[in-house]
Structure 1
C-alpha cells in the first residue's frame, strides 16, 4: 500500500513538473495573446463602443411634522421611506411626463433603464442619476425627472417639501465604457485562454514519448534506447516526398 501511494505521489510530481514546463514554454505565446487581445479590446472600447455620460441631481425629502422637534424615529422612518421615493421617481407617471415635456422620443422602459436612484445610508437625501450618450441630454433629463418626481412625491405621500440639494450639471468626464478595465480584462482573458489550451493539451496527451512513459504507463522495463540518426531521418523525409 505504501509503495503504491509513493508511486502515485511520484507520478503526480512528474505530471506537475511537466505541466509547469509546458506552461513555461508557452509564456511567450501567452504574452503575445494577452497583448493582442488587450489591443483588440482597447480599440473596440475606444472607437466602436458609444461613450456614455452620467449626470446626477440630489433632493432632500422633508416629511410633515406636528412640532419642530425631529426625533431619531422620524429619521429612521424617513430613511425607510427612501425606497418608496425611489419607486415613485421611476414610476410611469413621472417618466412619461418627462418624455412628453422634453420630446425625447423614447419609451417608458428605455428611459427607465437610463435612470438610477440611490440614497446614502442613514440619510433622506436621494440621488437621481441619468446615463445617456449625450451629456447635455443627460443633464436635462436628470433635472426634468427631479422636478416631475418632486411634485409627484408631494401629492402621493403628503410630503411637506422636496428640497433641491444639488441640481444636475453638465458632466465633464465620461462614465463609460471603462476602457482601462476592459483592456486589462481582455489581456488577462487572452493569456488565460492560451494557458487553458496548453494545460488541456498536456493533460489529455497520452502518447508515449520517453522511456519513463513506458515504465510509468505500461509497467515495462526499458532494456535499451535506440537513437534515431538525423541523417536517416532526413533520408526518410526525402524518400517520402518522392
Structure 2
C-alpha cells in the first residue's frame, strides 16, 4: 500500500483551477502588495535615484557649392563617406580631453561616458548628446564638443563645411528616471512576488480538500465523509 501511495503521490498534478481559486482568495493581499511595491517604485524614481538631464545638438556636413552656384553632388557622396570618420573623431581623446579641461572635469573619460554620438542612416547629420546629473554640465559638454571639433577640423584638416543646425540648450526637464515606468515596474514586481508566494504555499500545502484528491492520494475509495463546520 505504501508503494501505491508513493506512486500516486508522484503522479499528482497541479490543479490549475484550484490554484486559480487560491490566488482569487488572496486577491486583496496580492493587490495590496502590488500597490505597495508600485509606491516604492514611485518613491525611488522621485526622491532616491539621481535625475539625469540631457542636452543635444546636430551638426550638418554641408555640400560644396560650385562656381556656378549649384550643389556639388560629388561632395555629398564624399560627406556621406566621411560621417563615420567624424563620429570617431568626436569621441576621440583629442576632442574629449580639451572638452574635459574646459568644463572642469579631471579626465577625458568622464566626458566620453556622458556622450552619445549618432547618425541617421543615409544622411550627413551627426547628433551629439550628453547626459549627466547636471543640466548645465550636459549643455557645456555639448557646446564645447562642437566648438573644439570645429576648431580641430579647421586647423588640422582645413574643413570648414560644418554647420550647427540644432543648437544645444539647458534642459531642466529630466530624461530619467521615468516615474511612470518605475511605478509600473514596482507594481509588476509586487504582483509577481505576492502571486509567487501564494503559488508556492499552494504547491507545498499537502492537505486533502476533496474526496477525489483523497482517493487519488490513498489509492483506495473513500467510503464516507464527515462534515466539518468552522
TM-score normalised by the chain length of structure 1? 0.78
CA separation of 1:215/1:96 partners in 2, compared to 1, >3 Å: closer, same or farther?
same
Q: Look up the match of 2:83.
A: 82
Give the number of equivalent residue pairs: 217
1:101 and 2:102 correspond = yes
Correspondences of 1:79-228 after superposition (within 5 Å): 79-105=80-106, 107-153=107-153, 159-227=159-227
Distance 1:37 1:111 in 2: 36
CA contact (8 A) 1:88 1:153 kept: no
SS of residue matched to 1:117: strand
Q: Which runs of 5+ in 2 are unaligned?
A: 1-11
Q: CA RMSD in A?
A: 2.7
CA contact (8 A) 2:79 2:124 kept: yes
Distance 2:153 2:63 in 1: 11
Deviation (angstroms), 1:116: 0.7
CA separation of 1:80/1:38 partners in 2, compared to 1, >3 Å: closer, same or farther?
farther
CA separation of 1:63/1:190 partners in 2, compared to 1, >3 Å: closer, same or farther?
same
Return 129-138 or 152-161, whichever deviates more: 152-161
TM-score normalised by the chain length of structure 2? 0.82
Distance 2:77 2:21 in 1: 61
Deviation (angstroms), 1:29: 1.4
SS of residue matched to 2:184: helix
Deviation (angstroms), 1:39: 0.9
Q: Deviation per CA, 1:87-124, whole angstroms, max 9, x where unpaired?
A: 2111111111011122223x222221111112223211
